[in-house]
Amino acid sequence: MTRAPQISAKLAGFGTTVFAEMSALAQRTGAINLGQGFPDTDGPAEVADAAIAAIRDGKNQYPPLPGIPELRAAVADHQARFWGQTLDPDTEVLITAGATEALSASLIGLCDTGDQVVAFEPTYDSYAAGIAMAGATLRPVVLRPDTDGIFRFDESDLRAAIRPSTRLLLLNTPHNPTGKVFDADELALIAELCVANDVIAVVDEVYEHLVFDGAHRQLASMPGMAERTITISSAGKTFSFTGWKVGWACGPAELLTPVRTAKQFMTFVNAGPFQHAVAVGLRLGDDFYEGYTATHLAKRDLLGSYLERAGFGLHAAQGTYFSTVDIEPVVARHDGLPADGVDFCLALPETAGVVAVPTQVFHDDPRHGTNIIRFCFAKQDETLIAAGERLVEAFA
């Protein structure tokens, strides 16, 4: 008798990601999709043209394992230009299949079975799965909205979580799904605890150019952190080409070597011609980067005004391209609306013709964040207006 196919114990419980589920729901129902985070317009034409030229020029075979030299140099220059980070492009930059592979390869390459990984939750969905694939254990520190709408953690929770047995701290700033941008004091505390407990930091900065309130600061720039931090980003968000899956990990050579070892058996390499195009993108002028931030700030405010008019409790989106809201005030005013975020989102195509993502699925303990849902505002203004009007019509 053959055994029934069964998912490994490591991945039991992960199922299909909420992003795929919610995009399928939008397609099935025809609702406006503000769920999965992706832009509905293409990025800069010169970057797209560079990809087409690279394909036509025959740049179609395996790129080198660490990535093409032009892209590694462009990443190093970008990190110096925007964040003052000094990197050797030959030994301190690794090109990956999106930020996702950089994250998984860091976890698999650096953690042993049973190691503890501290992360702030709600966590981006691949973190818990990446930690599980590495055989490690997630130790969450919960972010909760404060009275000013900004998500914060309790210092005592972080102090209790980071211990000498902690192998790694996984940080995402700007933070998906909350829109939080970790400030200098928070980063200083995290750095102090990483240094004191000899913890490696892995920092996901895919929204580095989407900071609206405050400033993007690197954990790697804090005292004692450069030598113990891997910084990860990707072309997906900044250049609005999420399907290209070109990402990178930066950090000291001794930390990147285990990441490269894991990465070479995951994809080996990917996206040869797109690597050439992303190198062009990273060297675009300040006008591109400033325009990108300003456009998304306006989109945040546009959608935010509708979310408030619809009666949701709007949280501060300091960065990223997501706004989160408290559904409680809307639920309180309407009979029959589900109070649980998952049920609210499953019903939302019917109640309002819009798709959003419940944030409780990003918590270890599903009792957290039950009243908070996330909308993506990286969409054309017409789409945001149409979705906003539907929400106002349904709930105001």
Name the residues that contact ligand GLN, by CB under 6 A: 17, 19, 36-37, 176
98 binds ligand PMP (CB under 6 A): yes
Q: Which residue has the tokens 């935010």?
A: 304
Q: Are the CB atoms for 304 and 216 separated by under 8 Å?
A: no
Near ligand PMP by CB under 6 A, which window of 77-85, 96-104, 187-195, 350-358? 96-104
Q: How far is the CB of 329 from ligand PMP (least distance, A)?
A: 27
Tokens encoding 230: 């891997």
Contacts (CB under 6 A) with ligand PMP, residues 291-350: none
Rounded alpha-carbon distances, angstroms, from residue 184 to 193, 253, 368, 377? 14, 26, 26, 26
Q: Which is nearer to ligand GLN, 14 or 19 (CB)?
A: 19
Contact characters 169-188, ligand PMP, x per CB under 6 A: ---x---x------------
Give the Cα separation of 36 and 23 in Å (integer). 6
When CB distances to ligand GLN are compared, the closest residue is: 37
Q: How far is the CB of 241 from ligand PMP (least distance, A)?
A: 10
Asked if residue 26 lies in contact with residue 348, where contact means CB atoms within 8 angstroms, the answer is: no
Cβ-based nearer residue to ligand PMP, 186 or 204: 204
Nearer to ligand PMP, 250 or 352 (CB): 250
Any residues with CB less than 8 A from the CB of 140 and at least 6 apart, and which?
A: 118, 119, 120, 121, 123, 161, 363, 364, 365
3-class DSSP state of 144: strand
Q: Give the one residue of 31, 76, 94, 99 binding ligand PMP; rule: CB under 6 A.
A: 99
Residue 247 binds which of ligand PMP, ligand GLN, none (CB < 5-8 A, kind-dependent): ligand PMP
Chain centroid to CA 388: 24
d(CA 180, CA 184): 13
Binding mask 199-228 for ligand PMP (x = CB under 6 A): -----x-x----------------------
Whole-angstrom distance, CA of residue 341 vs CA of residue 93 = 40
- Using the Cα atoms of residue 95, residue 96, residue 99 and residue 105 in order, give the sign of their dihedral: negative
Residues that bind ligand PMP (CB under 6 A): 37, 98-100, 124, 172, 176, 204, 206, 234, 236-237, 242, 245, 247
